[in-house]
Every structure is written in structure tokens, then in C-alpha cells.
Chain A
């Protein structure tokens, strides 16, 4: 590839007691692509993603964002650096409204005395921006921005979580199993959302067990095995059964792909 990777990890190691979850793992994400990360259970995908999103601090190795080393100690620091994560459990507060949820942890305060002295929230501004974001992603069929998230369906909640990430993620959006808990129709909608986010220029890291979904949207597929990157394949050149074979160790990966 001609372009420089946006997000790079080299030689990541993470041990939990005597278990080594990450064993010299590498990772590369290029601008504007959808990179799927697949791997068997226990292969260390979630540890890898947690290291990149700041949820865990790796014991060894380095992470580079736009060529500069970063050391995230919490998801907040990764967020401040422009990396947004949509967690599998969505990390939404059910009793709070859609707008409150989208701005949780980064609320907008009113200008002037009301905001500075009385720290009053600017509900109007937050609701307006939340509505804009949901409209951009074609989710504005959710009519009432101040309705509680718990009154939404699973797909709608996923939409709110994706909209939140897309609204604030300036560099990378990470999605952990975005379709795992959804029905066929809602999955389709979320896949369209992912492609929408990509079209807006944001690169996406997609963690999924669903091979058809991975092969449909991904530009490249990172296969994780035994705590490290086994290979990166192009979904146009390999079939789903090849990917599963690499992932489970049934077949050795091609030499050329390892170098990529």
C-alpha cells in the first residue's frame, strides 16, 4: 500500500496471570478502510481491541496513531485522541434520553453565566446535534430525541451507539460485534450504517464472528490466532472457508499474505 497506516501496533504483549492473551501482536489500519478482525474464541481479538481502544494497557509493545506513539490509560484517553468504540453491550444508559446518551461524558454547557457559573446543560444544542447525526445516518425515523433509550428496539439502540461513535470519532471507529444481538433485518440496517460511516471517510475496525457480514463489508481481513496476527487477507482473493481454515489452524496462511 502506498499510504501510511493510520493506526499501527507493533509487538503487543498482554498477560493475565499465566495466560498470555496477546503474544507479540501486530496491527495496521489504513485510512478510509474497513478492517475486519476475526479469530477463534480465545484468540485474543478482544484483548487486541481493548489495547487499541484504551480499555487495557498492554504490558509490552507500542501503538502509533498517525505515526506518533500513544499510551492510552483509559477509554477516555483513546476517545480524546479520536478513537471511538461501539461496545458489544453498547454502553448506553437505558433510562437516559437518546440525546443525553449521545453526549454522556462530553456534555455541552450553555454559553455565558448559566453555563460557566451554574453549569447548566445546553439541552437544545445537544438535541439539535444528536438529531443532525441521526438524520445523516438515516435514523431519523426515531422521532423523539428525548425518549429514553430503553423504549427503543435493539437495532435502534445499535443505531444510537453507532451515531454516537460516528459523531465524535474523528480518526477511527471500532465496532465490537455490532450485529451479534440483532435480527436479519436489523443486521442489514447496521451493515448499511457501517458502510455509511466509511463513506464519510472514517476507517472502521469491525470485530465479528459473522463471516458473511465480514466478507460483505470488509476491505481487508485481519486473522488473529493464538494471541498474534496470523495474516491479513483480501476478501476478494479468499473464500470464507479459507478464512475459517486459517483462523482455526486447519490450513497454513500464504507466505505473501503474512508479509502484507
Chain B
């Protein structure tokens, strides 16, 4: 027995040969990479690079084809105005998709919030600023319901938001009685509701406050996602929720906060929607959910969660805007836009899959 114990402290028989083997066990793999692998690694660590390249290329191409009419400060800022709402809703969608979820109810929450802001002012005579706060509260409540169903009830986000999308949209129609509040009335009695539609000029460039708000929102969320603990937890949950839980991330709490913030951002989108179309209309923004998912996917954010940058979403939204304006200026059938956007979506997902292989 004592012989065995003495033996026990030494490497076992079959491992003795290891002393002669290469000792660089944990060394970093430094074999020279092929150019393709280098690109793959670069894209792996810079997920917003692909949409940025596509954006710059498409702006350059349309600029070459159409010339000054497209390549002007006016047109460029027009694109920004047109994608402002998609950008805002896309920001909400980004947060949810980073946690490996999806939110089909974003557009419905946006419209319901805008209707609450309008109806609380005109039906109940609330001060407009208070009505706006109520709109945000409704957005947050809708998000909270989504969050609780996804985190504590463990229901799949796709199903939950498919349900809440219908529920919120129906609530919107029932509550508003399908009634539009006219732009003139809003302008006369509650101009603050149209705040984000107001614009200012810098030379030929026209900026609405909505555009400024969208860019600021994306910048703030970028900071939060990359430089705060909460942001890292969002990525960790999207990556592997069980690992995140075991590492000490309070998964359910973070998930609920993600959906609540998404709801609040949608309410901001609802406020901007009033500025954009002037009136409060319960039928506006029907495709906001699909448009936001499109921006997120073209922006290189993985639908499987945990990967991508919110800046990519902004570039994705801008790519769609550039294609829409550019093809309109060329004068093609608008269906070409959808055809190209559809192609871009599929290419974007294919690139995402390829980049993921870097781990293998």
C-alpha cells in the first residue's frame, strides 16, 4: 500500500512520456493566418464593420450613378429623417435580440403609446407633457409584461410578442375607436406632441429633433452596452443564459429590464411618430416591427443573441434608407427596393454564420 501511495504523487505511468512532449500547452495559437482568416477575425471583433462597408459602398455607388441630386446634404439628411423612427425602434429591437429574443410587438407598443399621448391630451384634457409621460408608462408596462412572460414564465419570446403584438394592436384600435387626431388640432393645442418633427437647418442639411434624438439614443445605448456591467450582462445572457446565471448575472432581472427599456424606447418612437406624420393615427407604423428586425439583421446583429453592435443596427437602417431614396431617384419600380433588401438580409445572415465559425 505504501508503494502505491508514493506512486500516487508522481505522474502516472502512461503520462511519463509527456515530459518529452511539447510543453507549450496553453500557448496562444500564433500560426500565420491566411488573408481570409484575417478578415474573419477582424469581422469577429468588429461586428459593425460589414454594414458600415456596405453603407459607404452603396452611398458611393448611388452618388456615382445619380450624381449631385443624391450626393447632397439635403438628400443625405432626408435619409436620416426617413430612418429616424426605424432607428429608434431598431434600438429597442437590438436590446431584445442581443438577449437571443425577438420583439414583434415593438411597432404596436409604439402606436399605442402615441395614441395614449394624443387621447389623454384631447379626450381627458390632461396637460400634454403629462400625457406624454402616460404614453411612456404604457410603453414600459407593455415591455414589462413581455419581460415577465419571457423571464419568469420561460415562454419563447417569439410566441410571447406574437401574442402581445395582437393584444396591444387590438387595444390600440378599441381604445382609440379608430379615430385620428388631426394635425391642425395638435399644432394649436399641444405642439409639444409634434416636438420631434420640428427641424433646423445647417446650410442645406435639414435635421429634425427626431434625427438628433435617434442618434443620441443609439450613442447612449452603445455606451451602456459596451461600458457598463448591465450591458455586458445583456450580451452574456444572449450568449448562454445558464452560464450567465452561474457567473452571478441576475438573468431574470436583466431580461425584464431589457424589455421595459425596449418598451420605453418604443414610446419615444411613438412620440416621434406624431412629429413625423403630424397627426395621431392608430393605423400608422404597421410595419415598424419588420423594419426594425430588418435593420438589426442587416446591421450584422446575430438573431441567436450575444453578438453584434447597436451601431451596426443604425448602419443597417441607413442602408435601407439609402436604397429606398437612391432607387426612387433613379426611378425604378419600388419593388426593386424590397428585392434588394431581401437579398441583403439573407447575405447578412450568411456572413453572421461564417463569422461565427471563427470559434471553431
Residues of chain A whose beta carbon lies under 8 Å from any beta carbon of chain B: 55, 75-76, 79, 85, 87, 89-96, 100-101, 104-107, 109, 118-121, 123, 139, 141-144, 148, 150-151, 153, 155-156, 159, 184-186, 188-189, 212, 215-216, 235-239
List of 9 A-B pairs having minimum Cβ-Cβ separation, nearest first: A105-B248, A236-B5, A150-B359, A91-B246, A107-B229, A104-B247, A93-B236, A93-B239, A91-B243
Interface flag for B228 (CB, 8 Å): yes
Q: With the chains together, A40 CA to B272 CA distance in Å?
A: 63
Q: Which of B232, B245, B306 contacts A107 (CB 8 A)?
A: B232
Q: Which A residues are in CB contact (< 8 Å) with B2?
A: 236
Q: With the chains together, A159 CA to B27 CA distance in Å?
A: 12
| Nearest A-chain residue to B230, judged by Cβ | A119
Q: With the chains together, A142 CA to B229 CA distance in Å?
A: 24
Q: With the chains together, A142 CA to B25 CA distance in Å?
A: 10
| Nearest B-chain residue to A100, judged by Cβ | B232
Q: Which B residues are in CB contact (< 8 Å) with A216?
A: 8-9, 11-12
Q: With the chains together, A76 CA to B251 CA distance in Å?
A: 12
Cβ of A104 and Cβ of B227 under 8 Å apart?
no
Q: Which A residues are in CB contact (< 8 Å) with B170?
A: none
CB contact under 8 A between A95 and B307, given known A142-B26, A188-B18, A236-B2: yes
Name the prevailing secondary structure of the B interface residues. helix
Q: How far is the CB of B75 from chain A (nearest CB, A)?
A: 36
17 further contact pairs, Cβ within 8 A, besides A104-B232, A118-B223: A75-B246, A92-B243, A93-B243, A93-B306, A94-B359, A104-B244, A104-B247, A107-B229, A119-B229, A121-B228, A142-B28, A150-B359, A153-B29, A188-B15, A189-B26, A216-B8, A236-B1
Interface flag for B276 (CB, 8 Å): no
Interface flag for B335 (CB, 8 Å): no
Q: With the chains together, A155 CA to B23 CA distance in Å?
A: 13
Q: With the chains together, A109 CA to B244 CA distance in Å?
A: 19
Cβ of A109 and Cβ of B5 under 8 Å apart?
no
Q: How far is the CB of B240 from chain A (nearest CB, A)?
A: 6
Q: Which of B55-79 contact A (CB under 8 A)?
A: none
Residues of chain B whose beta carbon lies under 8 Å from any beta carbon of chain A: 1-2, 4-5, 8-9, 11-12, 14-15, 18, 21, 24-29, 44-45, 223, 227-230, 232-233, 235-236, 239-240, 242-250, 306-307, 358-359
Cβ of B249 and Cβ of A105 under 8 Å apart?
yes
| Nearest A-chain residue to B28, judged by Cβ | A143
Question: What are 18 inter-chain pairs, A to B, with CB distance below 8 A?
Answer: A91-B243, A94-B359, A96-B235, A104-B232, A107-B232, A118-B223, A118-B227, A119-B229, A120-B227, A150-B358, A153-B29, A156-B26, A184-B18, A185-B18, A215-B8, A235-B8, A236-B1, A236-B8
Cβ of B246 and Cβ of A87 under 8 Å apart?
yes
Cβ of B1 and Cβ of A94 under 8 Å apart?
no
Q: With the chains together, A101 CA to B2 CA distance in Å?
A: 43
Q: Which B residues are in CB contact (< 8 Å) with A151?
A: 358-359
CB contact under 8 A between A90 and B243, given known A75-B248, A95-B307: yes
Q: With the chains together, A39 CA to B319 CA distance in Å?
A: 59
Q: How far is the CB of B4 from chain A (nearest CB, A)?
A: 6
Q: How far is the CB of A50 from chain B (nearest CB, A)?
A: 11
Q: Which A residues are in CB contact (< 8 Å) with B249?
A: 104-105
Q: Which B residues are in CB contact (< 8 Å) with A92?
A: 240, 243, 247
Cβ of A141 and Cβ of B24 under 8 Å apart?
yes
Q: Which A residues are in CB contact (< 8 Å) with B24?
A: 141
| Nearest B-chain residue to A137, judged by Cβ | B26
Q: Which A residues are in CB contact (< 8 Å) with B230?
A: 119
Q: With the chains together, A141 CA to B228 CA distance in Å?
A: 28
Q: Which A residues are in CB contact (< 8 Å) with B29?
A: 153
Q: Which B residues are in CB contact (< 8 Å) with A109?
A: 229
Q: Which A residues are in CB contact (< 8 Å) with B44?
A: 148
Q: With the chains together, A235 CA to B4 CA distance in Å?
A: 9
Q: How far is the CB of B90 from chain A (nearest CB, A)?
A: 21
Q: How far is the CB of B258 from chain A (nearest CB, A)?
A: 16
Q: Which of A120, A144, A156, A184 contacts B228 (CB 8 A)?
A: A120
Cβ of A235 and Cβ of B5 under 8 Å apart?
yes
